Amino acid sequence: MDHPGADGAQRIGPYALLGRQGTVGGGEVFAARTDDGLLVAVTVVRPELATVPGFRDRLRAAVEAARPLSGPFLLPVVDADADAPVPWLATAFAAGLPLRQAVDRHGPLSEPALRVLADGLGRALAALHAAGTVHGEVSPDSVLLTMDGPRISALGILGATRSPAPSPTDDVFGLGAAVLFAASGGEPDTDALPVSLREVIDGCLYPEPPDRPTAEQLVDYIRRQNLPPLQGSWLPPTVSADLAAATAALGSVSAGGGGRGPLPAPPVSAAGSGMSRRKLIAALAGGAAVLGGAAAALAFSGDSSPAPEGRAGGRGSTTRSASPSAGRPTPSSSASPSSTDGPEPIVLAGPDATKAWSGAGKHAPTCLEASDKVLMVVTDTATSFLDAATGKSVFPQRNTANSFGSSMDKYPTAYADGVFYLLCDTPSQTGLLAAFDAASGKAKWATRMAEVDPGGDTRTGVYLSHYVAVAGDTVYVCGTLLQTSKPFSAKSPTSGYIRAFDAATGKGLWRVKGTDINNVLVPPTGSHLLATSAVPGNKPGRVQMIDAGRKGARGWKVSVRDAGYYFNPGWPLTCYAAGLFLFAGGNGDTLFAVDAATGSQKWHQLFESNSGDQVKIGTPFTALDGTTVFVPVGADLVALATADGTPRWVARLDGANDMGGSDMFNASSRISGKSAQCSADTVFATDAAKTLWAIDAATGRARWRYSDPGQPDVGFRWTVGGDRVFVASHLTLTAIAAHGR
């Protein structure tokens, strides 16, 4: 959904999604408009939330309670649909920048700005609490900085639908954490708070809720200080500059909005500003928008020479202007690259897949893993093993289960060298890492992973497992560390971890953690891992080698500028092939290939749109033999030679997604998880129309396509084993041969 464009914009309800503004706990937030040009902010609910029992009823009730609420720092609810396949909420629009993004880009706020931030959030929460409602989702991601002060929505989806419901003191804690983040620029440090706010913000973060001030008391505390009023803009000049152009182009649109009143349509170009509508949308989306429609034609510009200053994240010397286009390309009429730009795109079209077998179970699978002979099926009650060729049970069922399964940022299964690995629970134990022999289904070992950091009598940290991976004789578990000893980190985690276990015994070997570990790539061989970092205040992101042979010691590192959109906790957004690590850099439009051992750059490939629009590549992945790397870019899937980055073919989607916008590959949206996988000679990839494609790895032509009209709203789960792909849709399991026969 974060692939906005003018003609190819996706829709939800009556709104066309223009640009992604950010992510909050309940979902993703987009700038959007009606067909009449009225601007709103639409929060699209996370798919996994929509499946929680009672969620839709709680959301419906919360929306009705929030509709009449308004205030100078509140964005009122103007529309919602709790019963839509993908629930959504629309609030009044404000031209602004999420607090986290502003601080990541420009550093901590000044003392006067921090007072305005605390006062505005306090007044907004006081209005909510006085009406008997709770936001429940106050964080650096949900706070919007506008020219006229901070803003939060009148309804926080995650908080409003939580059971049991949060309390006003939870909102106050969130306020304190947000102000502390703005003062410290990232890692929480109460010494960074100005004297005028230290006492009251410390009080907001007290561990015992009854000891925290009310929102009204916080506002009164700031008012009684009688400090000089702020002169001029309350925001730093650099942040104001980011907002000025968007605010000018929006004209008379009110920052706070109000009810269902009409909002003026944004002009295509503000008088005298020179800002095009495309640049305006990019500004609203924080520069992370993928523009030009899902089928923008690509031009390539590769080079094996080093990037400037030897940094893999720098802009290469081969940058050139994108080829001009007569108009914005659409799925049915894309401008085609010239012969010097790369291969002619192949529009994907293929027959419906022929099922090898299909059957129904008693419980819906939460995750799947397969070898060439056995399929492991995990549900929220048990783990089963099926014959990959027939679908029949081959081993006794096990009592290990995983209730949440695979999702955008989690993948709790792995297979290597005849062994299945699973993050799971049993009726008597939780937090297990288990290994099963693929030849017998018997458990080889099960290790209960310590869930807390050693800290004496103090609970200092909780490990949340995102995924398991295997390399040689070592099993790795990666995830996020919630540091409960630091209130802000507990509310908004910034640290990741790697834990290594002996694959033969399950014995723990070593662990590392830190804010420089957001997600981790574990190659199938070798001792070099790749970690990407969170983006610290006013600094570029980073990729770095983790040396498993030295128990997780940090190795080489390179900076990646403008990478805030790219480094998300969870499944790695990088890949490995033939001794090279590959990752996005530049402005998100360049693929870099570096030596895994040394970090030296081998080549880089720049992706450009012939329409002149900005391109953002998705999550790269590689063929099993390592000779080809596949790069999703909107509706295009590009195959490059691993050795030098030479384009081999471009496969292109045509048509619409399930919401009526242009179709695109799921891997293009940089959503974590396995949305693309390979067998020996076939590429499997899902798209936004909920179709699974089997693509010939040598030619880029489709072998077959598979879709299920009865699949869940969030789509089906699937995995590849040998020359088969296995699909779970509700209670039904289906196997399809890679060649469709």
- State pLDDT tens for residues 352-394: 999 999 999 889 999 999 999 999 999 989 999 999 999 999 9
Q: What is the pTM of this model?
A: 0.61
Is the preceding omega at residue 620 within 30 degrees of 0, hence cis? no
pLDDT above 80 for 670: no
Q: Is 340 exposed, middle or buried (0-12, 13-18, 19+ CB in 10 A)?
A: exposed
**Strand 74-75 vs strand 149-153: parallel, antiparallel, or unpaired?**
parallel
User: Over the chain, what is the mean pLDDT?
Assistant: 79
Q: What is the pLDDT of residue 17?
A: 80
CA gap 651, 702 in Å, rounded: 9
pLDDT 10s digits, 446-472: 998 866 544 444 445 667 888 999 999
Least confident piece of the model among 20-29, 63-72, 648-657, 723-732: 20-29
Confidence tier at 204 by pLDDT (50, 70, 90): very high
Contact 620, 674 (CB under 8 A): no
**% the chain with pLDDT above 90:** 42
Q: What is the pLDDT of residue 535?
A: 57
Q: What is the pLDDT of residue 479?
A: 87
Contact 585, 605 (CB under 8 A): no
Q: Where does 568-664 show beta strands of DSSP type E? A: 575-577, 580-585, 590-595, 601-609, 621-622, 628-633, 636-641, 647-652
8-state DSSP, 710: T
Residue 208 CB contacts under 8 Å (≥ 6 apart), including other chains: none
Query: What does each C-alpha distance from 133 to 29, 181, 315, 456 come to in angstroms?
Result: 21, 25, 49, 39
Q: What is the pLDDT of residue 171?
A: 93
Mean pLDDT highest for which of 70-74, 195-199, 648-652?
648-652
Q: What is the pLDDT of residue 494?
A: 61
Collapsed DSSP state (helix, strand, coil) of residue 180: helix
pLDDT above 70 for 312: no
CA gap 419, 437 in Å, rounded: 5
Q: What is the pLDDT of residue 4?
A: 33
Confidence tier at 12 by pLDDT (50, 70, 90): confident
Q: Where does 65-123 show beta strands of DSSP type E? A: 74-75, 77-81, 88-92, 96-98
Please state whether 295 falls in left (phi above 0), alpha (psi between -120 and 50) or beta: alpha
Q: What is the pLDDT of residue 341?
A: 59
Q: What is the pLDDT of residue 424?
A: 93
pLDDT above 60 for 297: no
Number of other residues whose CB lies within 10 A of the CB of residue 714: 16
pLDDT above 80 for 150: yes
Q: What is the pLDDT of residue 333?
A: 27
User: Torsions phi, psi of 318, nearest 5?
Assistant: -95, 5
CA gap 4, 679 in Å, rounded: 32
pLDDT above 70 for 199: yes
Instruction: Concatenate the DSSP letters of all residues of 369-431 into one string.
Output: EE-SSEEEEE-SS-EEEEETTT--B-S--BS-B-SS-S-SS-B-EEEETTEEEEEEB-SS--S
**% the chain with pLDDT above 70:** 77
Confidence tier at 98 by pLDDT (50, 70, 90): confident
Number of other residues whose CB lies within 10 A of the CB of residue 321: 8
Q: What is the pLDDT of residue 719?
A: 96
